[in-house]
Amino acid sequence: MAKPPKENSPITEHLAYLLAQANREINRQLELRLSKEGVPVEQWRILKVLSDGEGHSMGELADAVLLNHPTLTKMIDRMVSDTLVYRVQDPGDRRKVLMFISDRGKVLCKKLNSLAVDQEEHILESYGDKSTSELKRLLESLIDSSN
Amino acid sequence: MAKPPKENSPITEHLAYLLAQANREINRQLELRLSKEGVPVEQWRILKVLSDGEGHSMGELADAVLLNHPTLTKMIDRMVSDTLVYRVQDPGDRRKVLMFISDRGKVLCKKLNSLAVDQEEHILESYGDKSTSELKRLLESLIDSSN
DNA sequence: TTGAAAATATTGAATATTCAACAATTGAAG
DNA sequence: CTTCAATTGTTGAATATTCAATATTTTCAA
**Residue A34 belongs to a domain:** yes
pLDDT of residue A50: 98
pLDDT of residue A4: 53
**Residue A7 belongs to a domain:** no
**Residue B81 belongs to a domain:** yes
Q: How far is B89 from chain A (nearest CA, A)?
A: 25
- Residue A74's identity, in one-letter code, is K
DSSP conformation class of A86: E
pLDDT of residue A147: 75
pLDDT of residue A9: 87
**Residue A94 belongs to a domain:** yes
pLDDT of residue B8: 78
A22/B126 touch (CB, cutoff 8 Å), yes or no: no
Q: Helix crossing, A15-34 with A103-127: angle to 10°?
A: 130
Q: Which bases of chain D come closer than 7 Å to a protein CB?
A: 7-12, 16-20, 24-27
How many residues are listed for chain A in this entry? 147
Candidates B119, B147, B124; CA nearest to B136 is B124
pLDDT of residue A146: 85
Task: From residue B81, give the alpha-carbon distance in Å to each of A121, A127, B35.
Answer: 47, 44, 19
- Tally the domains of chain B: 1
**Residue B29 belongs to a domain:** no
Chain CA centroid to CA B111, Å: 16
pLDDT of residue A8: 78
Domain that holds residue B102: 39-145
Name the stretches of chain A with pLDDT < 50. Answer: 2
Is the pLDDT score of B7 beyond 70?
no
Residue pair A110/A117 in contact by the 8 Å Cβ criterion: no
Candidates B26, B85, B23, B29; CA nearest to B53 is B85
pLDDT of residue B6: 60
A25/B146 touch (CB, cutoff 8 Å), yes or no: yes
* DSSP element (H, E) containing A98: strand A97-101
**Cα torsion angle, A89, A90, A94, A95, sign:** negative
**Residue B68 belongs to a domain:** yes
CA distance B69 to A5: 32
pLDDT of residue B69: 98
**Cα torsion angle, B40, B56, B82, B73, sign:** negative
Looking up residue A31, the CATH number of its domain turns out to be 1.10.10.10
Q: Enumerate the β-bridge partners of residue A89.
A: A97
B29/A146 touch (CB, cutoff 8 Å), yes or no: yes
Tens of pLDDT, residue by residue over B69-126, are 999 999 999 999 999 999 999 999 999 999 999 999 999 999 999 999 999 999 999 9
Tens of pLDDT, residue by residue over B42-67, are 999 999 999 999 999 999 999 999 99
